[in-house]
Structure 1
């Protein structure tokens, strides 16, 4: 009798466990309508350019424009090597230099994949020598940011191995794989203590000297919080490192660090979209912000890319979570401007029970990400949503006098059901004048050499084959070069409403200018088979990683 009761009790526990598992993963409101089969990596993503251009004189490669982008890359590198070699960045107005990424030569390493893709063998040889023989990842200037270090440095190193093994550029040494991976492992091992938390989520900073995770100010305590991008933008890089080295610890650490977000056990009012920031001690939200923009953006970007990189049973859940988040964004965050003649689609944010009608340049990655995931998952509604967001981001460019987009802007939402029902409008006279003319007004006038808009053009061109995306990219390229060109390179701009005004350059040029912005522009005009989306996944710093199909 006792044995029978035990069996009944065990059966009851198993049934209860199955119920909660089912509720957590399959009965989420966001999964309604999720009745399609997630592919096993075999869905074609990229437009069939070979078939389109077969037998006609036109070509999917625009040599003249690709070479124009390459010349800007060469000029960028020339002045960096002359004036700032070994430092993280050049100051393009004064020709000085600065270290902003721990003094490891961020511009050298972050742009390695760009020079490899462009076939710039001489420059790549210098970069390779720096990586293999010069840089010391055992020492760091100041506290190390694991997020930026992973996407810029570690991402560049593992991507370079993939690119060299794919034959994109002749390797400078027959031992390139061993030599680069030795440095990548050194860096990853020194970053290892950032995973030392109860949840496995990464500390915001690490002290290399003490080999201890820290908060952003170098302190250790139990009230540290991180936003979603920091918590969930490492899996692609660590997964690739584990594959290349055969050491699974990197993938294991990264998977555990991301799991409390990917397999969130708490209720989600908007399925797939999480509240932020989160405690690294508990994994629970300590804030109320819900946004696809900074500082949460690349968590959502990586959900679909994780499955594309390694399409297996485990990462199918990541693809599902991406679908949930994008469907929720379409339902809860999409906003159309009030303009009757020229409406545009943007993304709201939500915090403390209120919508915020602000969007930033960083958020403009999402249009391309939507095209990528929607094409792969065969979701036409999400695809159209992505196209609309790309057009909205283009409007932020073409409506400016410089034709370069700002860091941030606002608009008056058409939707009447949102809270607050009456959004704050433009305040200053210039804001009011711009709103009357363009339907938006600026909240941040600067341009920081960012890639997100041309990144979405890249996905638009590669996935649809629509020439408008190449046309838009060329417009952006010409405007950006005109606005940012300085004596010693290309600089951030103070005010995009000014056209080459004296003193309008900030004398700053982060490494993503050559790592991302120029790479995406070049790939738009080069042969589309170069880094095809059917074979490669780009990390959030535009480093291509080989898909493991």
Structure 2
């Protein structure tokens, strides 16, 4: 039944084995192997605290020992943790999670009334379908539940609009008519394609792919680099701000990963990604004046370079490593490894050994960040080659994600050392003396500043899975066999093609026009 669907999508389900991503014959040296158990123990400690104080809710609040429900109230931490349970071999916890998930009713009105199409897709649709695959397709109820919530979210596409609205009121299926961003509109394709694969209904894949194609076919300020905001009503960009950070990040991530997961013969995905990387190297790639740390700057609405970075944006190194291998492009790989080092430096340079949410640099061509640089920031920069602009740590995975890719591609044990250092820092600084489990930090450079009362669902889905897999047998969940969604849920990939070179540089079908709205820029939801 599934072969006709794959053929309908214009895919190659039985491509000859082609390009490989992981270093052949890679093994984890014995001296590092205890770190796998250490990552698993952090997961168990965190999840047991969640079970005791928040089971059935979206998130544990570990300081107050209560729960939060800002993702629909459907037990996001349980669904987000399922694929990690399977990766770690925690079968009892997984079976309990399946029993819980089978009873979720996505037709009920969620806490708060509205849900994010993006957040619900990457956590619930991605988590359920990944768990279905990883468990040997033994629990079809997981597909049923993924379909149930996707059927509700499909109302985000209104009329002939290619681009979905970002939020849905589940009480009446009404989309919230507002400007969204390219990450929200362009980070649905892996999950909804997989749902089409298991249901035999191409509509899910078609809806999400056409949104990405629409964005890719619009003219952009720099070739391949779509700006951050888009208006689903008009289908036009609503600003000209370019970043690999939040609000844009996973749109670029999925251009590449969709090409790999589907082996599609539609070159717009790989061509747009290649063009975006090329433009980024030419315009956004910068080096700090202290330490020679490589980073990707932003380009603001006025066309000015902003020498800023973020924990969110640090996924780019892993994404470029994957793309460099698929394209057999050593230049991209080399730059990606430098970007990875620059992001790790934001961990190595803090008092806790954990990276901040936001940071900035000074380069030979400027230091513009939109704010004045203080004397303390200059002093910190002169010592570390970056300075902190947002000091909190909210259990982001991206630096460790890219570190994982760097290990699997190169086999350089410095990446194992870095992952081990992160585990040690988490164990030292994230448990609260008066709380349970692992919390977030107010200030990574001042542990005395205290905790943020939250354990994110992606702590279970991403951070601890990436750390565990870094020290696991590299043939287990190999990058040659799986594509990770942006929530680190592994999705089974077909054999790789011999080439992902595409047709060349993307030429948008439409010129760039930003239909900007008046008033302040809308808040960007965390990606």
The TM tier, using the shorter chain, reads 0.7 to 0.9
Match of 1:365 in 2: 315
Tell me by how many angstroms 1:401 deviates: 1.1
The answer to whether the 8 Å contact 2:216/2:226 transfers is no
The answer to whether the 8 Å contact 1:411/1:425 transfers is no
* Residue 402 in structure 1 maps to residue 349 in structure 2: no
* Residue 103 in structure 1 maps to residue 90 in structure 2: no
Q: Distance in 2 between matches of 1:269 and 1:183?
A: 40
Match of 2:11 in 1: none
Tell me by how many angstroms 1:426 deviates: 5.9
* Residue 477 in structure 1 maps to residue 423 in structure 2: yes
Tell me by how many angstroms 1:162 deviates: 1.2
Q: 1:390 to 1:334 in 2, by over 3 A?
A: same
Q: Distance in 1 between matches of 2:296 and 2:472?
A: 31
Match of 1:87 in 2: 57
Tell me by how many angstroms 1:269 deviates: 4.1
- Alignment match of 2:380 (pick from 427, 434, 450): 434
Deviation readout 1:247-286 (Å, 9 max, x if unpaired)? 111111112222211333x3x3421101231111222112
Q: Distance in 2 between matches of 1:232 and 1:60?
A: 41
- Alignment match of 1:252 (pick from 206, 210, 214): 206
Secondary structure, aligned partner of 2:60:
strand
* Residue 43 in structure 1 maps to residue 19 in structure 2: yes
Q: Which has the higher contact order (CA 8 A, sep 6+)?
A: 2
Secondary structure, aligned partner of 2:326:
helix
Q: Distance in 2 between matches of 1:318 and 1:445?
A: 35
- Alignment match of 1:287 (pick from 216, 232, 239): 239
Q: Distance in 1 between matches of 2:293 and 2:344?
A: 10
The answer to whether the 8 Å contact 2:227/2:248 transfers is no
Q: Distance in 2 between matches of 1:231 and 1:269?
A: 19
Match of 1:122 in 2: 92
* Residue 508 in structure 1 maps to residue 454 in structure 2: yes
Deviation readout 1:173-226 (Å, 9 max, x if unpaired)? x5x12x1111111111111101125322111210111111114xxxxxxxx322
Match of 2:107 in 1: 138
Q: Distance in 1 between matches of 2:403 and 2:457?
A: 20
Secondary structure, aligned partner of 2:212:
helix
* Residue 297 in structure 1 maps to residue 267 in structure 2: no
Tell me by how many angstroms 1:288 deviates: 1.1
- Could you say which structure has the larger radius of gyration? 1
Q: 1:308 to 1:97 in 2, by over 3 A?
A: same
Deviation readout 1:44-89 (Å, 9 max, x if unpaired)? 111112xx55xxxx74894311011101111111111011111111
The answer to whether the 8 Å contact 1:445/1:496 transfers is yes
Secondary structure, aligned partner of 2:135:
helix
* Residue 327 in structure 1 maps to residue 278 in structure 2: yes
Q: 1:62 to 1:198 in 2, by over 3 A?
A: same
Deviation readout 1:336-377 (Å, 9 max, x if unpaired)? 0012xx210111111122111111100000001000000110
Q: Distance in 1 between matches of 2:293 and 2:387?
A: 13
Tell me by how many angstroms 1:427 deviates: 3.2
Tell me by how many angstroms 1:96 deviates: 1.1
The answer to whether the 8 Å contact 1:110/1:153 transfers is yes
Q: 1:96 to 1:512 in 2, by over 3 A?
A: same
Tell me by how many angstroms 1:42 deviates: 2.1
Q: Distance in 1 between matches of 2:370 and 2:208?
A: 41
Paired positions, count: 476
Q: Distance in 1 between matches of 2:54 and 2:311?
A: 28
Q: Which runs of 4+ in 1 moved over 4 A?
A: 58-62, 421-426
User: How big is the alpha-carbon RMSD for the aligned residues of Structure 1 and Structure 2?
Assistant: 1.8
Q: Distance in 1 between matches of 2:198 and 2:29?
A: 35
Deviation readout 1:402-446 (Å, 9 max, x if unpaired)? 111101111111236xxxx87778633432321221122111011
The answer to whether the 8 Å contact 2:213/2:268 transfers is no
TM-score (norm 1): 0.84
Secondary structure, aligned partner of 2:238:
strand
* Residue 182 in structure 1 maps to residue 140 in structure 2: no
Q: Distance in 2 between matches of 1:459 and 1:60?
A: 20
Match of 1:13 in 2: none
The answer to whether the 8 Å contact 1:368/1:459 transfers is yes
1:301-380 alignment, distance < 5 Å? 301-314=253-266, 316-339=267-290, 342-351=291-300, 352-380=302-330
The answer to whether the 8 Å contact 1:197/1:281 transfers is no
Q: Distance in 2 between matches of 1:345 and 1:518?
A: 27
Q: 1:258 to 1:485 in 2, by over 3 A?
A: same
